[in-house]
Structure 1
């Protein structure tokens, strides 16, 4: 993990305007009111007995925590925000705004800050047990639900 590189991406996205339409960016996805950066991506786990997956998950959480410590130097300690109830409400059909609804389906919780009129969050994503982990950063003007 390159904390310096990740911080540079977060800083850049904090200062960029949000697009009018959703789409891909050079670091992830973007849309009206949000940027999601895929900071780091692991390998797939198709033939894994679970050991490598667990070690990788631990490493990605440690990387998130290390980056979170650096961001805490700027904005204070994060709020750890569980997306479990957001995911449940989203699956039940409640109109959870993007990016929170879709994000809640693969990120269980996020370290969250409010700075300069935007929400900044870090999380570890995994869409399914065979798929890679990702360290993701969210920069959004849309308040958490």
Structure 2
């Protein structure tokens, strides 16, 4: 897991071959005016999903305490304050029904080891070993965010 501000995003371009293109897309897009939906960036290798909705409680977020095998998530907070729960997969023992290959998701019946907040123009990179519970609301108002799904080759 990597947490940082968008101004430092170029430092991470060498971590994965598609990160440079993903961060270029973020830098050249007017995030504030983007409407919720899915945006193709580069075929099935890179796509952006924008949401703008009310945050969940910590308890609600644990219904989808998740990780992915085929994608890395770059999650960008556009506005609001988002809390995310995190736990390394090697400490997870109890899954909820196994891995769904079609949706590239596995849910866990676990509790996070830690929580952290993202605010405007901050991002987190979540790798397959990062089990996460996103969209926890902190304060009032909606959370607007973008998740870039980076396909692992």
Q: Which structure shows the bigger proportion of residues in helix conformation?
A: 1
TM-score range, shorter chain: under 0.3
**Structure 1-normalised TM-score?**
0.28
Q: Which structure shows the bigger proportion of residues in strand conformation?
A: 2
**Structure 2-normalised TM-score?**
0.27
